[in-house]
């Protein structure tokens, strides 16, 4: 289900303290998300690519991940250049593409890919439960962390339940078609999944109570920061400040 | 028998999930220290409900629950008792919620107030006891059914309970795993209640068998000799079976 195929590796980035990675990922994505100028965004993209290179992940696999998101961005390219007002850049038949529209679409494309690359390079290179623990060490509220870890643990179980139900439908000759029977059956399927998940949540909570759970989630892991972590954090902070400066200079 | 040996004392317990049918009907039940009790009964006869009432996960509509000589009415009474009674759920996926085996087994000890080092130590020792050394970093949802069963048992045993309540521990396990669990349970010096449909397992692990039906519980004491019809190779030759 969730394979976490990037989470194991021997690279320098894999060995970094997960708390540092979370901090850098958050700061970096916020700065990129609010930057509006390509003069700041393009260096940010270069930085993301550099971070990616440090992870030594297979470029092909990363490319396929990016493809998923860029599929959505493709639709923006089909719409934005023709719907944005501004200077005419090109015409296709009756359609007029504007310079502003193209710039706007490029900014979104660069931003998305930059943030995504950074997320893959920083967060996907950490096992999910380690991320959860690092979050708790960063004083992120327990409830959010519980939600995060439980979603990870049980999405697989719910998926199996989903497969069992669809198999049960299939062996009795169910074929999805465009008719009310199909819609009703799918509605039952979704409803059943919700009810079952709710029941399961209830049972898990009971099992936890039986083992002395009282709302606080203790963890076994201890993290330690070494000189490499500090170096990485300082360099990244400097780079992020640099991006802020570039954006500020571009709009000033 | 000494009065302080009475661990679980249920008096006149009634419980129902819906208005028209009582799952437990004025049921009384005792467990003394050292008792090993098997619980049998048809599906829906209230066996699991009984265990959940003992743990305080369900509250009876009438009747009294006493645990370790003290009345248990509120969540805080049960919370204290849960440290000493371990319940193994029917479905291991309900029991194992942590990402890794080690963390799941250490969850109980951590809740009991142990330090991370102690908890890790307890967890590793418990795993070793169940022949599960080397499992600590396995991902819980990727375990096989039998492994999940054994790890679930480890999560309960790691809390070092005085009483063990097991809800169909051999359900869905293959013969080898069942044998392994039987051996482990036989070797434990604990008071216990085992729910099972597997009479063979119960006769090996328990001293007494109770039967539940229609919300009541009764001791099934009579030993009834009975013949078996069975088949195996060379069965036509005269032979004897050891019991």
Tell me if B111 and A212 make a contact (CB, 8 A cut-off): yes
Contacts 24+ apart (CB under 8 A), B182-185: B184/B129, B184/B130, B184/B153
CB neighbour class for B175 (10 Å; exposed up to 12, middle 13-18, buried from 19): exposed
Which of A150, A153, A209 is opposite residue B82, by nearest beta carbon?
A209
pTM: 0.72
Dump pLDDT digits (tens) for B18-37.
888 889 999 999 999 999 99
Tell me if B111 and A156 make a contact (CB, 8 A cut-off): no
Q: Which two tokens stand for residue A64?
A: 């396929």
**Closest of B199, B173, B203, B165 to residue B186, by C-alpha:** B203
Is A147 in CB contact (< 8 Å) with chain B? no
Tell me if A212 and B93 make a contact (CB, 8 A cut-off): no
Instruction: Say what the ipTM of the complex is.
Output: 0.74
Residue with token string 């954006």: A247
**Closest of A220, A129, A134 to residue B121, by C-alpha:** A220
User: pLDDT at position B224, please?
Assistant: 62
Q: Which residues in chain A have their CB less than 8 angstroms from residue B83's CB?
A: 212
Listing DSSP states for A34-65 in one string gives H---HHHHHHHHHHHHHHHHHHT--HHHHHHH
Q: Is B216 helix (H, G, I), strand (E, B) or coil?
A: strand
Length of chain B: 243
Nearest CA in chain A to B116: A220
CB contact at 8 A, B51 and A203: no
Nearest CA in chain A to B157: A211
Tell me if A210 and B103 make a contact (CB, 8 A cut-off): no
User: pLDDT at position B1, please?
Assistant: 44
Residue with token string 């600590």: B136
Is A60 in CB contact (< 8 Å) with chain B? no
User: pLDDT at position B10, please?
Assistant: 93
Q: Among A4, A210, A216, which would you mutate to test the B interface (most chain B Cβ atoms within 10 Å of its Cβ)?
A: A210
User: pLDDT at position A49, please?
Assistant: 92
Which of A127, A206, A212 is opposite residue B112, by nearest beta carbon?
A212
CA distances from A252 to A37, A44, A242, B90 (A): 11, 19, 15, 66
* Domain positions in chain A: 18-126+223-251, 134-210
CA distances from B76 to A212, B79, B87, B89 (A): 11, 5, 17, 21
Positions in chain A short of pLDDT 70: 1-3
From first to last of the 243 residues of chain B, give the pLDDT tens digit: 445 689 999 999 999 988 888 899 999 999 999 999 999 988 888 999 999 999 998 999 999 999 999 999 988 889 889 889 999 988 888 888 887 899 889 988 988 888 889 999 999 999 999 989 999 888 888 888 889 999 999 999 999 999 999 999 988 888 888 999 999 999 888 999 999 988 889 888 898 889 998 888 888 766 566 667 777 888 788 887 765
CB contact at 8 A, A51 and A115: no
**Closest of A21, A218, A230 to residue A126, by C-alpha:** A21
Count Cβ–Cβ pairs < 8 Å, chain A vs chain B.
85
Q: Among B94, B142, B160, which would you mutate to test the A interface (most chain A Cβ atoms within 10 Å of its Cβ)?
A: B94
Q: Are strands B163-167 and B191-195 parallel, antiparallel or unpaired?
A: parallel
User: pLDDT at position B156, please?
Assistant: 92
CB contact at 8 A, B28 and B175: no
**Closest of A25, A35, A50, A52 to residue A111, by C-alpha:** A35
CB neighbour class for B67 (10 Å; exposed up to 12, middle 13-18, buried from 19): buried
Residue with token string 């509509």: B61
């Amino acid at each position: 289900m969730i394979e976490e195929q990037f989470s194991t590796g021997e690279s320098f980035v894999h060995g970094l303290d997960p708390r540092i990675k979370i901090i850098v990922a958050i700061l970096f994505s916020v700065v990129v998300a609010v930057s509006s100028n390509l003069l700041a965004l393009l260096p940010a993209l270069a930085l993301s690519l550099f971070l990616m290179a440090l992870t030594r992940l297979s470029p092909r696999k990363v490319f396929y991940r990016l493809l998923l998101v860029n599929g959505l961005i493709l639709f923006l390219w089909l719409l934005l250049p023709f719907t944005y007002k501004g200077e005419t850049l090109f015409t296709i038949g009756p359609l007029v593409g504007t310079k502003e529209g193209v710039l706007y679409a490029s900014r979104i494309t660069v931003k998305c890919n930059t943030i995504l690359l950074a997320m893959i390079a920083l967060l996907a290179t950490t096992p999910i439960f380690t991320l959860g623990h690092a979050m708790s060490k960063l004083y992120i509220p327990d409830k959010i962390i519980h939600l995060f870890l439980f979603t990870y643990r049980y999405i697989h179980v719910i998926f199996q339940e989903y497969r069992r139900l669809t198999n049960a439908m299939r062996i009795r000759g169910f074929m999805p078609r465009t008719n009310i029977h199909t819609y009703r059956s799918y509605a039952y399927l979704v409803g059943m999944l919700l009810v079952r998940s709710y029941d399961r949540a209830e049972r898990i909570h009971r099992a936890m109570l039986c083992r002395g759970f009282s709302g606080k989630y203790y963890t076994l892991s201890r993290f330690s920061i070494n000189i490499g972590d500090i170096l990485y954090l300082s360099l990244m902070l400097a780079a992020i400040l640099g991006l802020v400066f570039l954006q500020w200079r571009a709009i000033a | 028998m000494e009065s302080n040996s009475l661990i679980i004392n249920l008096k006149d317990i009634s419980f129902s999930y819906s208005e028209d049918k009582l799952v437990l009907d004025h049921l009384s039940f005792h467990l003394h220290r050292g008792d090993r009790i098997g619980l049998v009964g048809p599906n829906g006869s209230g066996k699991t409900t009984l265990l959940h009432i003992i743990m305080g996960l369900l509250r009876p509509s009438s009747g009294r629950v006493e645990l370790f000589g003290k009345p248990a009415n509120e969540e805080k009474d049960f919370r204290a008792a849960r440290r000493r009674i371990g319940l193994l759920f029917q479905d291991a996926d309900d029991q194992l919620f942590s990402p890794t085996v080690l963390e799941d087994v250490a969850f109980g000890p951590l809740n009991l107030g142990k330090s991370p080092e102690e908890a890790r130590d307890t967890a590793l020792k418990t795993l070793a006891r169940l022949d599960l050394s080397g499992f600590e970093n396995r991902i819980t949802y990727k375990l096989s059914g039998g492994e999940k069963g054994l790890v679930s048992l480890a999560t309960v045993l790691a809390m070092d309970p005085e009483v063990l309540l097991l809800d169909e521990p051999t359900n869905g396990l293959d013969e080898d795993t069942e044998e392994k669990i039987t051996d482990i349970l036989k070797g434990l010096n604990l008071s216990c209640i085992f729910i099972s449909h597997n009479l063979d397992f119960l006769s090996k692990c328990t001293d007494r068998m109770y039967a539940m039906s229609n919300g009541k519980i009764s001791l099934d004491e009579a030993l009834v000799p009975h013949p078996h019809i069975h088949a195996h190779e060379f069965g036509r030759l005269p032979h004897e079976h050891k019991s």
